[in-house]
Amino acid sequence: MSFSLHPITPDFAAEIGDINLREPLSEEEFTSLESAFNTYSVLIFPDQKLSEKHQMKFSSRFGPLETSIQKFRKGVKLRLGPKFADVSNLGPDNKLLGEDSERRLFNSGNQLWHTDSSFMEIPAKCSLLYAKSIPPVGGHTEFVDLRAAYDALPKKIKDDIKGLVAEHSIRESRIKIGYKEFTSDEVSSMPPVPQVLVRNHAGSGRRTLYLASHAARIIGLSDKEGKALLAELIEHSTQRRFVYIHRWRANDLVMWDNRNTMHRGKPFEDLRYKRDMRRTTVRDVASTCEQEGIHP
Ligand SMILES: [Fe+2]
């Protein structure tokens, strides 16, 4: 291993030092990094100076990159390339988004607990978020360890939720924050998708919950029962003991595993300060139902 690894928590978050992500990774470095990522779901690479190209190249070592859903949204001009989710508060002109900006409202959905792209049939394996510039106060990202949260569930609940499948939809999380601007084309092109509630984490072999604010209902349960169960599991999982809070420094690249975590962005004075954050997202290998051998 040619980089250094500094655990922040025993088995959830770690900082990786002595590595320059502008340089191509050797096979040995890649294997060691993947192995670290199977143990630690959140890896922090401080002090990296990355262009869009560098970030895409490093990210694509872990699998094929998603194309941002923003690209498919009508009338949206992109500030970054199509392989980037623009998590900033900036418009295509690099100026702060205004108070009434539609994208500002849409992006505020990132403040709900979620895992990236669970509303897509094949969701995200991992995300890599680069902090080009950050506000002086606020704007932290919180990560929850869903393997630890699953382990801590009472056996009765583990038995009850075994084999359950939830429906996830981007509309669900945006409705929760009052966003209603989807066109009928967008609604029909992004139907709800089934995702298992409990999955096996391929890298570690550990069981994990798979949850997000995108989850709207649970197949086979009434709306009321499904929503109550989802709310109960999210409340259990987001207890402080399962959460790592990342306080960003400029030039941090943070990579997290969407298969066994949830995250949310914390507010900051977004009408006053720039927060230029760029996310690349690596697709998983198959839908969660297919991976678990469940056919809803
Ligand atoms: Fe996210």
Each residue's pLDDT tens digit, 203-214: 999 999 999 999
**What pLDDT was estimated at residue 197?**
98
pLDDT under 50: residue ranges of the chain: none
Residue 108 and residue 225 in contact, taking contact as beta carbons nearer than 8 Å: no
pTM reported for the whole predicted model: 0.95
Residue 73, pLDDT score: 63
CA of 114 to the centre of ligand 1 (A): 6
Please report the pLDDT score of residue 56 as a whole number: 98
Those residues whose beta carbon sits under 5 angstroms from the ion ligand 1 are 116
pLDDT of residue 1: 60
Distance 274 CA to ligand 1 centre (A): 18
Measured in Å, residue 183 CA sits from the centre of ligand 1 at 22
CA of 140 to the centre of ligand 1 (A): 12
Cα of 281 to ligand 1 centre, how many Å? Answer: 10
Give tens-digit pLDDT for 130-164.
999 999 999 999 999 999 999 999 999 999 999 99
C-alpha 129 to ligand 1 mean position (Å): 9
Q: Would you say 137 and 247 are in contact if contact means Cβ atoms under 8 Å apart?
A: no
Q: How far is the CA of 111 from the centre of ligand 1 (A)?
A: 8
Please choose, from the candidates 95, 118, 97, the residue with its C-alpha nearest in 3D space to the C-alpha of residue 106: 97
- Ligand 1 centroid to Cα of residue 263, in Å, is 6
CATH for the stretch 4-292: 3.60.130.10
- Pick from 242, 231, 40, 226: nearest CA to 152: 242
Q: What is the pLDDT of residue 74?
A: 63
